[in-house]
Amino acid sequence: MAEAPTIAHLEAARERLEGVARVTPVSQSETLGRRAGRPVWLKAENLQRTGSFKIRGAANKLATLTPEERERGVVAASAGNHAQAVAWAAREAGIKATIYVPEDAPMAKVDATRGYGAEVVLSGSGYDEAEAASRASVDAGATFVHAFEDPVVIAGQGTLGLELAEQLPDVSTVVIPIGGGGLASGIAIALRDRLPRVRIVGVQCESFAPLVPDGKVGGFTIADGIAVKRPGKLTSVVLEELLDDVVTVADDEIAAAIVLLLERVKLVVEGAGAASVAAVVAGRVGGEGAVCAILSGGNIDASTLIEVSRYSLTKGGRFLAVRTLIRDRPGSLVELLTLIAGERVNVIDVEHLREGFDIPLGDTAVELLLQTRDEEHCREVLARLEEWGFPTERLR
């Protein structure tokens, strides 16, 4: 196993990345601060080139290749963000890149990878299978650029920690999403040197939490960027030594964080990137004083964003779906909708259901999707429907 990078390696990486990786901004969120009960800062790495922190490690790795290695090209395996980063860095350096991507990877990330000029090979149902498929290219002489288990890649990711230490020297806690562990390892190495008293907390999604005792290591999650069954051996050693804690967040908490960041902070963040905010808002990271959440990436499919938004808004009482009965005669639906409109409710969708339910003769079932203010408003509308004589079932 290779040795972990030192602070000197991180500083050398920072010199190589000057003019390549952006110095991403930090900003304080009053909204998140109120919810968390402490000052909350955000490190917006979702605004980084290619939409995530991965460009730091990929570009640093390619910058260290020999002329012979550059001639033979590079290969990588990734669920999306690392793929884009390697593709972009290879294009800029004039190096051929072949990227192996799981077949169910988000299409926005796959299309972006192709757009940067890499050859994309769809293979397997997850990262491990995609990586295994990439070995043939490695055997042919290409250099494998690992997403996290490489000290040069880790050093590149660690430049984010060097930036953060200068931007927020008084921060008390830093919260970092963990998949393979490259980002958290790099940041931890930087912060332990520059801000030795800072509390460093890693976050994993509940479905993929190998660093948590009895944590799950498989299943569905919207945080595909951290859906890794096993962190690297090197990164695990670093994280065990340098992290203060590792916590988990559920998908519905991540979804709520995505919507919160979109609505109140005006930032588009993917599931993995929002995991840190989800943990902060849930009060799970511990410590006192100012906390900084790392927004590791912003590459989310538009379709996924729509689905997540609908789910989170419905769960928060912003949408209400109900089924009720009305008389099957002209004017009955208009009467119902007029009453609902009087409660300042917007009707999004209406569907008649005459078959498939236990509907009394002379009635028809109606399913309504309503736009409401909050959960309290939902309860008020449901009570009103019953008062008006419409037996109502809440669907979601």
Confirm whether 386 is domain-assigned: yes
Instruction: Give CA angle at 181 (176, 182), nearest 5°.
Output: 95
Bridge partners for 174 per DSSP: 200, 292
Among 256, 286, 311, the domain-final residue is 311
Cα–Cα distance, 317 to 203 (Å, whole number): 27
In a domain, 69, yes or no: yes
- Contact predicate 130/113, CB 8 Å: no
- Flag whether pLDDT at 198 surpasses 90: yes
pLDDT category at 362 given cuts 50, 70, 90 is: confident
Q: Could you tell me what percent of the chain has a pLDDT over 70?
A: 99
Q: Is 54 a catalytic residue?
A: yes
Tell me how far apart the alpha carbons of residues 12 and 35 are, in angstroms, rounded to a whole number.
39
Q: Do 183 and 38 sit in the same domain of this protein?
A: yes
pLDDT band at residue 108, thresholds of 50, 70 and 90? confident
Tokens of 36: 């968390």
CB 55, CB 48: distance < 8 Å = yes
**Is the model's pLDDT at 313 over the cut of 70?**
yes
43 vs 270: CA distance, rounded Å: 14
Looking at the DSSP bridge assignments, the partners of residue 319 are 371
pLDDT of res. 140: 82
| Number of residues in the chain | 396
Regarding whether 298 and 212 lie in a shared domain, the answer is: yes
- State both tokens at 293: 């959440």
What is the span of the domain harbouring residue 243?
7-52+151-311
Q: Give this prediction's pTM.
A: 0.88
Task: Summarize the confidence of residues 338-361 as an average pLDDT.
Answer: 81
User: Do residue 253 and residue 282 come from a single domain?
Assistant: yes
- Span 201-211, mean pLDDT? 95
> Across the strands, what pairs with 74?
97, 143
The two tokens of residue 183 are 């980002």
- 228 and 294 in a common domain: yes
Q: Count structural domains, the chain.
A: 3
The CA–CA distances, whole Å, from 292 to 53, 173, 257 equal 16, 6, 15
In degrees rounded to 5, what are phi and psi of residue 109? Answer: -75, -40
In what order do the strands lie in the sheet containing 74-77?
119-122, 97-101, 74-77, 143-144
Q: Which two tokens stand for residue 263?
A: 């609505």
Same domain as 212, residue 300: yes
117-167 pLDDT, tens digit per residue, is 999 999 887 777 888 888 877 888 999 999 999 999 999 999 999 999 999
pLDDT at residue 355, as a whole number: 64
Shared domain for 84 and 224, answered yes or no, is no
* Count of Cβ atoms closer than 10 Å to residue 69 Cβ: 15
Confidence bin at 178 (pLDDT 50/70/90): very high
Task: Output 90 or 375, whichever has higher pLDDT.
Answer: 90
pLDDT at 357: 58
Considering the domain architecture, whether residues 297 and 325 belong to the same structural domain is answered as no
pLDDT tens by residue, 163-177: 999 999 999 999 999
Of 283, 311, 339, the domain-final residue: 311
Same domain, 34 and 121: no
Query: What average pLDDT does the structure give for the chain?
Result: 92
Question: What's the CA gap between 291 and 38, in Å, rounded?
Answer: 7
Q: Token pair of 376, please?
A: 């309290």
pLDDT digits over 276-292, tens only? 999 999 999 999 999 99
- Of 16, 40, 107, nearest to 278 (Cα)? 40
295 & 213 share domain:
yes
The answer, yes or no, to whether residue 326 has pLDDT greater than 90, is no
CA distance 71 to 74: 9
Catalytic pick among 43, 54, 61, 109: 54
Residue-wise pLDDT for 208-246, tens only, equals 999 998 899 888 899 988 988 889 999 999 999 999 999
Same domain, yes or no: 255 and 207:
yes
296 is catalytic: yes
Q: Domain containing 231 — which CATH number?
A: 3.40.50.1100
User: Measured between alpha carbons, how far is residue 46 from residues 91, 176, 219, 235, 270 in Å?
Assistant: 21, 13, 25, 22, 8
Q: CA dist 241 to 184, 200, 209, Å?
A: 12, 11, 18
Give the β-pairing of 26-28 and 40-44: antiparallel
Identify the three-state secondary structure at position 353: strand
pLDDT at site 354: 67
Active-site residue (options: 52, 78, 185, 296): 296
Q: How far apart are CA 270 and CA 275, in angstroms?
A: 9
CATH code of the domain in which 349 resides: 3.30.70.260
Q: Do 279 and 171 fall within a single domain?
A: yes
Angle at 225 between CA 41 and CA 236, to 5 degrees: 85
Residue 104 belongs to a domain: yes
Residues 183 and 135 in one domain: no
Taking the C-alpha atoms of residue 34 and residue 164, their distance in angstroms, rounded to an integer, is 23
Domain boundary among 251, 281, 311: 311
Is the residue at 1 inside a domain? no
